[in-house]
Amino acid sequence: MIVNSRMSKFFITVGLVAMAAVSSAQETKLMPPNEVVASAVDLLARQLDGRQAELSKDRAALYAIIDEILLPRFDRRFSAQVVLAKHWRTADDTQRERFIEAFYQALVRRYADGVLEFNQERVTILPFRGDVSKPRTKVRSTILLDDGSKVAVDYELVKRESGWLLFNVVIEGVSYIRNFRAELDSEIRASSLEEVIARLEKEALTLDDE
């Protein structure tokens, strides 16, 4: 199935906010991965209820909602490390911290519009089949499209002391981390890591001004 750019934004952004479960970190820590994602979907629906038109005109408010939900529950460092792959090892500490922040900000701004397409009734979290004793796991879901077909969207999580944290979204078998890794590896080879970081920082600022 071919997923268009607009729908891809929706799927990835739902994945990016999928860790918004409960306000108590201790409660989140005790929740199995599928319940964390399911409760996140419910919270996102409540945050957006009746506000789509308002938020489509107020990017700052939209970003604030995403940050509030996502930042405590998304493993930004691990996701950035996996995306950079071998380039992470050659980056200095300053470059790593700048990349983590720039990649996150650019990612949120690139896919923020997808939040406005969110419809809780279209999302089905499938029964969890993973092993919670392992350091990584996957929560599977399906999203119902307008034509009645369904798209598989999987959320990959890593276990931390604070609970399960999201680090990747896989749409119909296509990993956003793998795509970004290939894209940025090619760009770094053609220029440099420093230039890529600067480009991502500029991208976030540019999208803020739109």
pLDDT in tens, 13-48: 555 554 443 333 444 455 777 776 777 777 777 888
Contact 15, 165 (CB under 8 A): no
129 pLDDT band, cuts 50/70/90, is confident
User: Which is more confident, 182 or 25?
Assistant: 182
Domains of the chain: 5-209 (3.10.450.710)
Q: Residue range 86-90: average pLDDT?
A: 96
Q: What is the pLDDT of residue 184?
A: 95
Q: Does pLDDT of 85 surpass 70?
A: yes
**Alpha carbon of 53 to those of 16, 84, 149, 171: distances in Å?**
21, 36, 27, 27
Percent above pLDDT 90 for the chain: 24
Give Cα separations from 157 to 33, 93, 174 (angstroms): 8, 25, 16
Q: Side by side, which strands form the sheet with 163-171?
A: 123-125, 136-144, 150-160, 163-171, 174-175
pLDDT at position 26 is 41
Residue 109 in this model has a pLDDT that exceeds 50 = yes
Non-local CB neighbours of 90 within 8 Å, separated by 6+ positions? 193
What integer is the mean pLDDT of 72-78?
82
The count of other CB atoms within 10 Å of the CB of residue 181 is 17
Average pLDDT, the chain: 80
* Residue 152 scores a pLDDT above 50: yes
pTM for the full predicted model? 0.77
Which long-range CB contacts under 8 A does 180-183 form with residues at least 24 apart?
A: 180/83, 180/103, 181/82, 181/83, 181/84, 181/85
Is 80 exceeded by the pLDDT of residue 123?
A: yes
Q: Would you say residue 60 has pLDDT above 80?
A: yes
Provide the pairing of β-strand 163-171 with 174-175: antiparallel
Confidence at residue 197, expressed as pLDDT on a 0 to 100 scale: 96
